[in-house]
Amino acid sequence: MLWIAWIGGALLALIASGASYQWLGTRRDARRYPPPGLLVDIGGGQRIHLYALGAGSPTVILESGVSATSLNWRGVQKTLAPLTRVVAYDRAGLGWSDSIDTPRTASQIAAELHAALKAAQFQPPYILVAHSFGGLVARRFAHLYTDELAGIVLVDPLAPQEWWPLSDTHRRNLRMGIRLSRRGASLARIGMVRATLSLVLSGSRRLPQVIGKATGGPGSGVINRIAGEVGKMPREVWPMVAAQWSDPKSFLGMAAHFESLPESAGETLRTPPLEAVPVIDLTAGKNPRPSDEQIRAIGSNVRHVVARDSGHWIHLDQPDLVTDAVRSLVEASRIASPEVQHK
């Protein structure tokens, strides 16, 4: 049985080596990629990261998808910055923001965003630009702080009707997403995610695929999908994205969002349609068109636009559609209230 002891010792040594590699890499990342924006306290020592470019009013707020961060918006943010102030931020548990134990429901996240904007002294009116899951947050924010809003751009928003009540298929998908996220956190702690992403950034694909199949089971295709979407972002953010996903916090934050997704969808379905706030609803041409009932549930002043050449990530596939939508709402806000652009 000596060989069993030898294999066990080798595995322990490999895990210890991976943990040391992870510790050193985390320290290096902290030096290389400090928060580019503000870390503001929203109460109890909880800090949220906001990264602002440009100046003027209304202030455009960029809300990311379920596991994405402020980096996901860098290209759109740079394009819009000459027009007005544009703020990308990281939800609690993701990016440069602190971890948090409260449920990641849309209402909770909206309240935290509002507190962060106040702490940073970014004054309303706001235009929310929200991708995917962020659409639930934007709709809850609009309900809670209607008077502070000048408009919303929904970027292929998640349809709450699909996630409440849960079908058996969606329940299984959620369980798998939570399980894979927690597995990812475990692999990140021993440096496996860091090593895989380093290979991806160096141009390797075959070995990361082998590692993914060996460690991720049904999630082995995730590496290719993430690499494909990250490749559409400005090259300058690639190492920062890799650094964030090498941190177990990102996987735990994603799991927390998945755990609260049904409640977030239920909250949104119980939210009355917006009456006064203009909304531009961009949906991917490669996905089914939302029904008229779904559009009416958003509000009474909704303009629907199909991004015919886009998948789910419209702001990466056809960013001009997003920036044009934002410009139209900024101009409408300034026409309605000429004084706002001088604040």
Q: pLDDT digits over 23-57, tens only?
A: 999 999 999 999 999 999 999 899 999 999 999 99
3-state secondary structure of 68: coil
What is the helix, strand, coil percentage profile of the chain, to 5? 55, 15, 30
Using omega within 30 degrees of 0 as the cis cutoff, is the peptide bond preceding 273 cis?
no
Task: Give percent of the chain above pLDDT 90.
Answer: 76
Mean pLDDT of the chain: 89
For CA atoms 94, 98, 102, 107, give the dihedral sign: negative
The answer to whether the beta carbons of residues 150 and 125 sit under 8 Å apart is: yes
Query: What is the rounded average pLDDT of the residues 153-162?
Result: 96
Q: Which of 163, 179, 140, 165 is nearest to 274 (CA)?
A: 140
Residue 208 has pLDDT above 50, yes or no: no
Position with higher pLDDT, 115 vs 10: 115
Query: What is the rounded average pLDDT of the residues 171-199?
Result: 90
Which letter does DSSP use for residue 36 in this model? S
Architecture of domain 38-164+270-342: 3-Layer(aba) Sandwich (3.40)
Instruction: State the CB neighbour count (10 A cutoff) for residue 20.
Output: 12
pTM: 0.92
Residue 197 has pLDDT above 90, yes or no: no
pLDDT given for residue 341 in this prediction: 54
Query: What is the rounded average pLDDT of the residues 111-121?
Result: 98
Residue 60 has pLDDT above 60, yes or no: yes
Instruction: For residue range 250-263, list pLDDT tens digits in order.
Output: 999 999 999 999 99
pLDDT given for residue 215 in this prediction: 47
Query: What is the rounded average pLDDT of the residues 183-208?
Result: 79
Please give the distance of CA 119 from its chain centroid, rounded to a whole number: 21
Sorted by where each begins, the domain ranges of the chain are: 38-164+270-342, 168-255
Return all residues near 49 (Cβ < 8 A) that are at least 6 apart: 35, 37, 38, 39, 70, 89, 90, 95, 96, 97
CA dist 31 → 26, 167, 195 (Å)? 9, 45, 19
pLDDT given for residue 55 in this prediction: 97
